[in-house]
Amino acid sequence: MKAAMSVVYSVALLACTQAPAPSAVPAPAAPTSQPAAAQRQPGLTPEQTAARNDSLQNDRTMHVNEVLALIKGKEEMPAEQVFKNIQVFEGRTAAQLLNVMNRGFSNSLGVSCSHCHVIGQYDKEDKPEKEIARDMLAMVNTINGTHLKNIPNLKSPNPTVNCGTCHNGRPRPGAGASAQSRPSGE
């Protein structure tokens, strides 16, 4: 257990970031920048990487715009009142939830909505990636809420990690770069 915590602390110390404040309403039609690591995928030429990133951004934008059209007028309501099966983001607005999904999860992992969701049936639990994301978020909350606060001499008054800290624009974090060099088709 102590060795595992040492690894967590080491990773957290090497990759602490300050989490951005969520905006109230997502702006899906405006292109968002990809994380630096997503701009150059191992095994892909710069042109292939740019085309993949553009395709993913366009796909995410399309899905977010479709959902925004469906919930028009309800963007500022609590997400759990607008969407079904909200288990993690209770208390956030519907617009904030879409922003976290689009700019947080999808952008940090370099994937589109279909990675975790059945498109058009977002409440379904058919994909294991959805539960993995929930578990990973619980891990991030534990690291941010407990572990980082107990590391003395950190330079940041509120150090945090997020999805992008480890994923860097890849669906699978960590040392498996060779396995990640193949596009997933998303």
- In this predicted model, which residue has the larger pLDDT, 81 or 20? 81
The Cα–Cα gap between 132 and 172 comes to: 11
Number of other CB atoms surrounding residue 50 within 10 Å: 15
Report helix, strand or coil for 78: strand
In a domain, 13, yes or no: no
pLDDT of residue 81: 96
Query: What is the domain extent for residue 119?
Result: 23-173
The answer to whether residue 54 scores a pLDDT higher than 50 is yes
Percentage of the chain exceeding pLDDT 70: 71
H-type helices in the chain, by residue range? 2-15, 36-39, 46-70, 79-82, 94-99, 107-109, 128-142, 163-167, 177-180
CATH of the domain at 85: 1.10.468.10
Determine the average pLDDT of the residues in 10-27: 38
In a domain, 69, yes or no: yes
Confidence class of residue 44 from pLDDT cuts 50, 70 and 90? confident
Nearest to 42 by CA among 185, 184, 178: 178
In a domain, 59, yes or no: yes
The Cα–Cα gap between 5 and 156 comes to: 20
- In this predicted model, which residue has the larger pLDDT, 47 or 33? 47
In a domain, 93, yes or no: yes
pLDDT of residue 174: 77
In a domain, 7, yes or no: no
CB 28 within 8 Å of CB 60: yes
The Cα–Cα gap between 89 and 186 comes to: 25
Domain count, the chain: 1
The answer to whether residue 152 scores a pLDDT higher than 80 is yes
> Does the CA dihedral 42-48-52-53 come out positive or negative?
positive
The answer to whether residue 163 scores a pLDDT higher than 50 is yes
Confidence class of residue 13 from pLDDT cuts 50, 70 and 90? very low
pLDDT of residue 41: 57
The answer to whether residue 110 scores a pLDDT higher than 60 is yes
Residue 84 makes CB contacts below 8 A (sequence gap 6+) with: 122, 123
